[in-house]
Amino acid sequence: MVAKRIIPCLDVKDGQVVKGINFEGLREVGDAVRMGAQYARDGADELVYLDISASKEGRRTFAALVERIAREIDIPFTVGGGIGSVEDAARLLDAGADKVSVNSAALANPALIEQLAGKYGSQFVVVAIDAKCVEGQWICTTHGGSRFTDRELYSWAAEAQERGAGEILFTSMDHDGTKAGYACEVYARLCGMLSIPVIASGGAGSVQDIVDVLTAGRADAALAASIFHYGEIPIPVLKQALRAANVNVR
């Protein structure tokens, strides 16, 4: 059985890690490089860095920050935000990122997924999906959750896989930052229909929440921010509790 992964998520704005609730009310919590290095020492399996203002403000993720991260961190990390072309991805991968995450640009131009997978391989391509439940349907959004699209979560995830995505990172905007638990039924459905790994994001507030999304939710990895950033659940403590709950972790 493949081990489940624990992935701290660092939302970055101007080089600083920020956190909010439902994508709003952002506040700074620390330096992106220092925090990532500490998580690596604590036993995180991977890291995700998302430049959350890049797409919204029309800026590219800075390769200089990625270079600093790569020098300090010895575990795989994914970078997303403002990646709109193969050239953007190349800049970040050359700077040391292990994977790139595309969201808004992939929705605007789905062929970008094929282009990235064709050049680098599916294992380098993560398609991030931010969606909100509207009248019982999960509607995909872009630009940091600020714009609704006409795409629906399940059909878009299936298309992304077909076009060459290596992983799906789904964030429930309704659960983001609430610490009220993940949307486990949604993850279970996604994992049941896809053959690629699904990373769960949005809602972690306790060890049990993470146990639930990795078991009942069938997710391949649990991504969280607040509980790690504020020291509520140290990663070694979390992994020990997951093993006690018979969840296979590294």
Note the pLDDT tens digit of each residue in 5-16. Answer: 999 999 888 778
- Which residues does residue 171 pair with via DSSP β-bridges, in sequence order? 130, 201
Better-predicted residue by pLDDT, 29 or 232: 232
Query: Would you say 182 and 213 are in contact if contact means Cβ atoms under 8 Å apart?
Result: yes
Q: Is the pLDDT of residue 189 over 70?
A: yes
Q: Is the pLDDT of residue 207 over 70?
A: yes
**Whole-angstrom distance, CA of residue 14 vs CA of residue 235:** 26
Q: What's the whole-model pTM score?
A: 0.92
Q: Is the pLDDT of residue 51 over 90?
A: no
Average pLDDT over residues 171-189: 92
CB atoms within 10 A of CB 21: 12
* Residues catalogued as catalytic: 11, 130
Residues in the chain: 250
**Mean of pLDDT over the chain:** 92
**Whole-angstrom distance, CA of residue 218 vs CA of residue 155:** 19
Show me where the domains of the chain are located: 5-244
Q: Which secondary structure element, helix H or strand E, spans residue 172, and what is its range?
A: strand 167-172
Q: Is the pLDDT of residue 99 over 60?
A: yes
Percent above pLDDT 90 for the chain: 77
What pLDDT does residue 18 have?
A: 86
Fold for the domain defined by 5-244: TIM Barrel (3.20.20)
| Phi/psi at 223 (5° precision) | -105, 135
What pLDDT does residue 20 have?
A: 66
Coil/strand/helix, residue 40: helix
Q: Is the pLDDT of residue 61 over 80?
A: no
- Which residues does residue 234 pair with via DSSP β-bridges, in sequence order? none
What pLDDT does residue 117 have?
A: 98
What pLDDT does residue 63 have?
A: 83
Q: How sure is the predictor about 56, in pLDDT bands with cuts at 50, 70 and 90? A: low
Average pLDDT over residues 132-155: 93
